[in-house]
Amino acid sequence: MKIDIASHRWPLNEPFEIARGVEFDVELVEVTLTDSQGRVGRGEAAGVDYDGETGESMMVQLEAARPALSDSLTFDDVQSLLPKGGARNALDCALWDLASKRAGRAVADLAGLPPLKPLVTAFTIGLGSLAQTAERARRVQDFPLIKIKLDATRHIDRVKCVRDAAPQAELIVDANQAWDRALLENLLPRLEVEGVTLIEQPLETGRDADLAGLESPIPVGADESLTDMASFAAIAPFYQAINIKLDKCGGLTEALRLASAARAAGMEIMVGNMLGTSLGMAPAFLVAQQARWADLDGPLLLAGDRLHAMQFHLGIVQSPPPALWGEAE
């Protein structure tokens, strides 16, 4: 098995601010697997920046795995070779793509999923001034689902601003760990009035138990607190939803397991992203077929995209083209 590993920076359309800081571009690692028959599979990862992952660190991990790669590589092998995170995500998704080419079947079929259908995806509005928020909301006022980034001081005014600009849209909010329970309880009734349907990661990772006994009219979802299956049982009692990201959990294989566990626990599912091109969104699109919310807007935040990109129109994203990922040649 031959593996090619590459890293490139992709500029964003505009600076993207969340509670942790501001991003101007994203470094993406691409893995290309070629088997002895010349069949090719590709995968992409952005990594988990708040866990210290970088393009360089992911490439180091992948290089270390190179000697263990062969035509007999399995998904279980990938799980053993690399820890959760971006490097394993890129390798795992490349192997799924390659498996599709080998079997002459779509990845959705290999994973036991029904035929893919278009999805509503959130469009994310980052932090900024109220004027910037209003302008960004006006651009996407006809989108059915809008996600709003908030922090400890910029919150309900931003939500009201977006609601005024997009009265028909479903709204979800993401505090990226910036709140405490007192602020969450203070904001809950006002967020309910504005029609917010999900609150992502309001509290700091490790403070999940502070949510115990919270009576929230809006589902609260775990994002940073939920990585892979190893973290699921500990956080599940405190949340009504989880945000599955392939970069966090380490690929499509683990993401499908998380989705199954969430359904069994009666939890809602969101499938999100750490930014990326259509190549990174394509495997997440499969998991999002089972989700209450999809947040696959990474390509919309970039200044460019891959050849054979996924098609987005007014908040609806179509299935990945066969030439991109996950379909037999």
- Going by their DSSP bridges, the two strands 316-317 and 119-120 should be labelled as antiparallel
Q: Give the chain's mean pLDDT.
A: 97
What's the rounded mean pLDDT across residues 90-117?
A: 97
What's the rounded mean pLDDT across residues 186-210?
A: 98
Is the model's pLDDT at 324 over the cut of 90? Answer: yes
Determine phi and psi for 47, rounding to 5 degrees: 80, 180
Task: Work out the angle at residue 283's Cα, subtended by the Cα atoms of residues 277 and 289, and round it to the nearest 5 degrees.
Answer: 115
What is the residue type of 273?
N
Nearest C-alpha neighbor of 197 from the set 241, 254, 135, 250: 241
Q: Which residue has the tokens 């031959």?
A: 2
User: Strand locations in the chain, DSSP E?
Assistant: 2-18, 21-34, 40-45, 119-120, 123-125, 145-149, 170-174, 196-200, 220-222, 241-244, 268-271, 293-294, 312-313, 316-317
Residue 265 structure tokens: 């626990």
- pLDDT for 287 equals 98
- Neighbouring C-beta atoms of residue 139, cutoff 10 Å: 12
Rounded Cα gap, residues 300 and 304, in angstroms: 8
Residue 319 DSSP label? P
Contact 30/279 with Cβ under 8 angstroms? yes
| CB neighbour list of residue 75: distance below 8 Å, 6 or more residues apart | 92, 95, 96, 253
Task: Please give the torsion angle defined by the CA atoms of residues 128, 189, 191 and 197, in that order, rounded to the nearest 10 degrees.
Answer: 150
Rounded Cα gap, residues 172 and 196, in angstroms: 5
> What residues are labeled active site?
149, 245
Is the model's pLDDT at 85 over the cut of 80? Answer: yes
Predicted model pTM: 0.96
What's the rounded mean pLDDT across residues 292-309?
A: 97
- pLDDT for 102 equals 96
Contact 240/268 with Cβ under 8 angstroms? yes
Kindly indicate the confidence band of residue 20, based on its pLDDT and cuts at 50, 70 and 90.
confident
Rounded Cα gap, residues 116 and 100, in angstroms: 15
Is the model's pLDDT at 232 over the cut of 80? Answer: yes
- Going by their DSSP bridges, the two strands 40-45 and 21-34 should be labelled as antiparallel
Rounded Cα gap, residues 172 and 149, in angstroms: 9
Is the model's pLDDT at 70 over the cut of 90? Answer: yes
Kindly indicate the confidence band of residue 140, based on its pLDDT and cuts at 50, 70 and 90.
very high
- pLDDT for 19 equals 82
Residue 133 DSSP label? H
- pLDDT for 328 equals 81
**DSSP β-bridge partners for residue 28:** 8
For the chain, which domains are there?
2-106 (3.30.390.10), 119-317 (3.20.20.120)
- Going by their DSSP bridges, the two strands 21-34 and 268-271 should be labelled as unpaired
Rounded Cα gap, residues 247 and 93, in angstroms: 11
Is the model's pLDDT at 132 over the cut of 80? Answer: yes
**DSSP β-bridge partners for residue 302:** 12
The pLDDT tens digits for 266-286 are 999 999 999 999 999 999 999
What's the rounded mean pLDDT across residues 140-156?
A: 97
